[in-house]
Amino acid sequence: MLLAYLLASFLLFDATCPKQFYDPNSCASSEFSGGSRYICNDSPTSCQTFIVYRARHGFETVSKISRLFGVEQDEVLHANNLTSPSRILEKDWAVLVPINCSCSGNFFRSNVSYSIPEDATFTKISCEVFGGLVKLHTLVKEHPSNANNLEVGAEVTVPLTCACPDSNNSRDGIMYLVTYPIVEEDDTVVVGKRFGISPSDIWVENNLGGPNPIVFPSTTILVPLRAMPSINSSIKDPDNEEHGFVPITSTVMTGGSINQKNLYAIGSGVGIFFMLLALAGVGFYYKARFKLRENKFDSLSTRSSAASCLSPDLVAEMSKYSLVSYSFEELRRATMGFSEDTKLGSSVYKGRLGVADVIIKRMGFGDAQRTISIYSKINHINIVNLEGVCYGESDFSSSYLVFEFVSNGCLRDCLRNPANVLPWRRRTQIAFDVAIGLHYIHHCTAPSYIHMNITSRSILIAEDWRAKIANLGMGSVIDSDKERGTDVMMTFEGWIAPEYLRHGSVSDKVDVFAFGVVLLELLSAKEARDGTLLKKLGFLTGGGGASGCFEELRAFMDPSLKDYPLGEALCMAILAKACLEDDPLPRPSTNDILKILARMVR
Ligand SMILES: *[C@@H]1O[C@H](CO)[C@@H](O)[C@H](O)[C@H]1NC(C)=O
Ligand SMILES: *[C@@H]1O[C@H](CO)[C@@H](O)[C@H](O)[C@H]1NC(C)=O
Ligand SMILES: *[C@@H]1O[C@H](CO)[C@@H](O)[C@H](O)[C@H]1NC(C)=O
Ligand SMILES: *[C@@H]1O[C@H](CO)[C@@H](O)[C@H](O)[C@H]1NC(C)=O
Ligand SMILES: *[C@@H]1O[C@H](CO)[C@@H](O)[C@H](O)[C@H]1NC(C)=O
């Protein structure tokens, strides 16, 4: 390793062009290559610059992030055009942190002092706490003596990766080199757009070659800027927008205790009916598996005698057994080498395994584990099924989850398709299916689960036009012991419940609000991104009389929808309006919603 180190340094110092290099090795890799740290032979010895920190569990507010980096909270707020130090930021939200970068022993670094907490390892500190802003081997080299013996409470110096522009910056007017940690959905084009620069500037600065070079999660790149940095966080990978298969990125679980109240308080006939249906389904499934996997006979039979037939633990065990483990090679073949043709989103592919089409999503190891733990408690016809997994070799290489393929795509695309207008019967059925799926995750899983991202893009439509909810894993597990939803992070996409925006308060009513938005879209076929569509339903409360009311309703409805019972449409509009109440309390529960919709489907 020393030889590689010397060789790399020698090669770099010898280079005539003093640009920095990109290191494709992930944060925890022990390989040192050019670009693992940025060199400072030909540059000023220090500068004030910025690094980008991605908000994450434990460091999700400006106040916590400022404390981690030992910088003034106001400076961070100012740099990011934010006002509230305690606002909970979406997971992976890019925060600009002002730092002083200086040259020490040929490498740039920015010293941060970090107090060791319980259970810390150098890998966790470099790749999780600091999100890859310092490579593991840089940190180990800094503290060679206590790598295996971290004393809780001790202060260690963490040399963050940073760089200053050339002293001779008449070259191209570069004022800042911002250190940017790559996450799953990033590529250089998106990063360039978010900073408002051409991606080729990034390729040149990092010696990446191009066009469209590949950059990997858990690595860093330098973003060269000619002015004070600002990040436009609303720019996302366009691939994700179009297809509605948003990769699962954030899951925060608040612990595993069962919410007894929610599980047992299913009082309505509807609830019990579906509970029984689910149990019957499990029983059937159990038998099928029992036959299929005779080699598992012993372990399964002992389990079944020990655990009650109705125990939720058994359900969880069952779904664990049913998850298929795929090799990377199988998935590579299924997607023709992850080719562009099979790509549905930035890290989502369509593949063919045997005779069945599947959706393959790439994600970090931790996210994959959390997603599996959620799906392992969920098994329902109205929820997209998780079929298999392929774990990466290490905690920091990508894992892949394999989901069932749902052939008619997302609801948004179905509503947008003029060639194949969704008839009224299908729309009521879709609303009913989504309500059942929501009711199931809110009331029939333990712990109960809040989806937090119900939109017409996270609802997929199967070949038989039945709806399935996708993208579980962004939401929140509700733990009865803790205050609800104190640390949920989610994507601010579209229009969400006002109480969540104002106080970060999370309950099943956040999903009910989102369901109301979906109902508006089913009625009008327009995409509801804010309250303007709802305003058009104002006639429902006005005193216009029944005939005027129907006129306005007709104007509100999807114009391509030719034949529908006006009474049912009115009923659904009233339901949508009730779901979209500002105050969560008067919003209907999924129970109430099911009772109303059940009258419409046939
Ligand atoms: C900062 O935010 C305000 C409102 O939140 C916006 O009007 C303004 O344009 C933003 N400034 C920059 C530089 O992005
Ligand atoms: C960086 O240096 C400047 C001037 O020396 C100082 O005012 C500022 O507080 C420093 N910032 C940090 C984050 O250390
Ligand atoms: C950062 O820490 C290293 C080692 O502790 C030290 O040599 C260096 O001078 C420090 N740099 C600054 C700017 O404080
Ligand atoms: C700085 O740039 C100018 C013109 O681009 C060049 O003539 C000069 O040699 C450079 N100086 C250094 C120290 O590289
Ligand atoms: C951010 O990007 C979006 C989409 O391109 C654009 O509409 C918006 O004006 C941008 N915001 C700022 C502050 O530049």
Q: Which two tokens stand for residue 219?
A: 């690595």
Q: Which two tokens stand for residue 506?
A: 């999370």
Residues 362 and 247: beta-carbon distance below 8 Å:
yes
| 520 contacts: CB under 8 Å, gap ≥ 6 | 526, 528, 533, 534, 537, 576, 580
* 223 or 12, which is more confident: 223
| 57 contacts: CB under 8 Å, gap ≥ 6 | 91, 252, 487, 489
Which residue minimizes the CA distance to atom 13 of ligand 4?
A: 168
Lowest mean pLDDT among 32-46, 206-220, 443-457: 32-46
**Residue position matching structure tokens 């740039």:** 108
Using the mean position of ligand 3's atoms as its centre, give its distance from the Cα of residue 131 in Å.
21
Three-class SS state of 406: coil
Average pLDDT score over residue span 418-439: 94
Q: Answer yes or no: is the C-beta of 234 below 6 A from any ligand 1 atom.
A: no
**Band of residue 495 on the pLDDT scale cut at 50, 70, 90:** confident
Domains of the chain by range and CATH? 2-291 (no CATH), 312-404 (3.30.200.20), 411-597 (1.10.510.10)
Using the mean position of ligand 2's atoms as its centre, give its distance from the Cα of residue 142 in Å.
22
Three-class SS state of 501: helix
Lowest mean pLDDT among 296-310, 564-578, 588-602: 296-310
Measured CA to CA in angstroms, residue 238 lies from 12, 105, 199 at distances of: 36, 42, 15
Does the pLDDT at position 128 exceed 60?
A: yes
The bound ligand whose nearest atom lies closest to the alpha carbon of 71 is: 2
CA-wise closest residue to 179 among 246, 146, 134 = 134
Average pLDDT score over residue span 569-573: 92
**Band of residue 590 on the pLDDT scale cut at 50, 70, 90:** very high
Quick check: pTM over 0.75? no
**Band of residue 265 on the pLDDT scale cut at 50, 70, 90:** very low
pLDDT at position 257: 30
Strands 386-390 and 324-325: parallel
* 505 or 581, which is more confident: 581
Instruction: Output DSSP code: residue 125.
Output: I
Phi, psi (degrees; rounded to nearest 5) at 110: -130, 115
* 429 or 448, which is more confident: 429
Q: Answer yes or no: is the C-beta of 30 below 6 A from any ligand 2 atom.
A: no
Which residue from 49, 104, 107, 109 has its CB within 8 A of the most atoms of ligand 3, so it is best to mutate? 104
Percent of the chain with pLDDT over 90: 33
Lowest mean pLDDT among 27-31, 291-295, 341-345: 291-295
Percent of the chain with pLDDT over 70: 74
* 371 or 384, which is more confident: 384
pLDDT at position 371: 85
Which atom of ligand 4 approaches the CA of 168 most closely? Answer: 1
Question: If you average pLDDT over every residue of the chain, what do you get?
Answer: 77
**Band of residue 421 on the pLDDT scale cut at 50, 70, 90:** very high
Does the pLDDT at position 81 exceed 50?
A: yes
**Band of residue 306 on the pLDDT scale cut at 50, 70, 90:** very low
**Band of residue 65 on the pLDDT scale cut at 50, 70, 90:** very high
Which atom of ligand 3 approaches the CA of 142 most closely? Answer: 4
Which atom of ligand 4 approaches the CA of 171 most closely? Answer: 5
| 471 contacts: CB under 8 Å, gap ≥ 6 | 245, 246, 248, 451, 453, 458
Q: Answer yes or no: is the C-beta of 113 below 6 A from any ligand 2 atom.
A: no
